[in-house]
Structure 1
Amino acid sequence: MGTPDFIRRVRATAGHQLLFLPGVSAIVFDDEGRVLLGRRADTGNWSIIGGIPEPGEQPAVTAVREVYEETAVRCVAERVVLVQTLHPVTYPNGDQCQFMDTTIRCRAVGGEARVNDDESLDVAWFPVDALPQLEDFAVFRIKQALADEPTWFEPAEG
């Protein structure tokens, strides 16, 4: 789907200025313990699956929806892995965004992994000890999803 319609409407009046937006990432594991990744059409890089919630949509619903929209895999959300504000990004068109990401661990329950929209060039399952090159944020999220720990967040200084 790409950029949601409600963001396009905001951009029509806000221009390229920095928008602070919610984001949801899904770390999806299958029964073999492999993780689902997509190769992004915009960068050509492998990454975790994610997207922007629709207004009023709960993060777990966003995770399940985005996984299906991008990969045709059906999943269930299991737990919140982390909540983190990411560094601002500037897209090739000049749009600036900063995301507060909620990462959710998910379990695949059906479907065959395949490219299911125009956001991905490829979709595949990877053993966690044989991941393709990923950005640090994606590796960190996968490690946190594998850990049996409470939800990670950046502690407040005090």
Structure 2
Amino acid sequence: MPISPYLKSLRAVVGPRLLLLPGVTAVVLDDAGRILLGQRADNGSWSLIAGVMDPGEQPAETVVREVYEETAVHVVPERVTSVLTQPPNTYPNGDRTEYVDITFRCRAIGGEARVNDDESLAVGWFAPDELPPLADLTRQRLEAALAPGDAAWFSTPAIRLD
């Protein structure tokens, strides 16, 4: 997976230590209600399209950029569907990350789905009842995005009254 110049500059200073990073995920639907997925080049699994924000970038701008960069599909973000912190991850090179992720439900408005960079092996549209195997966190994001209503899912904190 390519690393942004910003993240590369951070890694030059902090090395592989844990970085808390802002990220976005897109649940992209077409007019037929199909979901856009990418087969990841790093592990071969099918996943929603996601990426890390660049400095000065709004989350909705990031989701539009990432979907186009990875799939050549143009989207319009419609609403935030979940906000969560992913479990810590260690990459093969030893870099450790923990992502604070904002998931957007997006509508496809143009382009033809195809592999558009080196992050994916394949890209495709899937009916909700014909999805390939997906990680639990991906399924959680999908459920939140496909649920009726406009409320976003988030973990409810314990309330302390002391």
Normalised by the length of structure 2, the TM-score is 0.95
1:151 paired residue number: 152
Residues 1:2 and 2:16 aligned together: no
Q: Distance in 2 between matches of 1:148 and 1:55?
A: 33
> 1:110 is aligned with what amino acid?
G
Deviation at 1:126, TM superposition (A): 0.3
1:58 paired residue number: 58
- Return 5+ residue gaps in structure 2 as ranges: none
1:114-133 counterparts in 2 under 5 A? 114-133=114-133
State the SS of the aligned residue for 1:6.
helix
Q: Distance in 1 between matches of 2:3 and 2:87?
A: 19
Deviation at 1:143, TM superposition (A): 1.0
Query: Segments of 4+ in structure 1 off by > 4 A?
Result: none
State the SS of the aligned residue for 1:11.
helix
- Return 5+ residue gaps in structure 1 as ranges: none
1:86-97 counterparts in 2 under 5 A? 86-97=86-97
Q: Distance in 1 between matches of 2:88 and 2:108?
A: 31
Show CA shifts across 1:104-150 (max 9, x none): 00000011000000100000000011100111111111111111231
State the SS of the aligned residue for 1:27.
strand
Show CA shifts across 1:20-78 (max 9, x none): 00010000000000000000111111100000011011111111110000000011000
Q: Distance in 2 between matches of 1:43 and 1:76?
A: 28
1:133-144 counterparts in 2 under 5 A? 133-144=133-144
Deviation at 1:13, TM superposition (A): 1.5
1:83 paired residue number: 83
Residues 1:104 and 2:104 aligned together: yes
Cα-Cα RMSD: 0.9
Instruction: Count how many residue pairs are aligned between Structure 1 and Structure 2.
Output: 158
2:40 paired residue number: 40
> 1:134 is aligned with what amino acid?
L
Q: Distance in 2 between matches of 1:3 and 1:127?
A: 32
> 1:49 is aligned with what amino acid?
I
State the SS of the aligned residue for 2:62.
helix
Q: Distance in 1 between matches of 2:28 and 2:2?
A: 20
Between Structure 1 and Structure 2, whose CA radius of gyration is higher?
A: 2
Deviation at 1:2, TM superposition (A): 2.3
The percentage of aligned residue pairs carrying the same residue is 56
Q: Distance in 2 between matches of 1:2 and 1:104?
A: 22
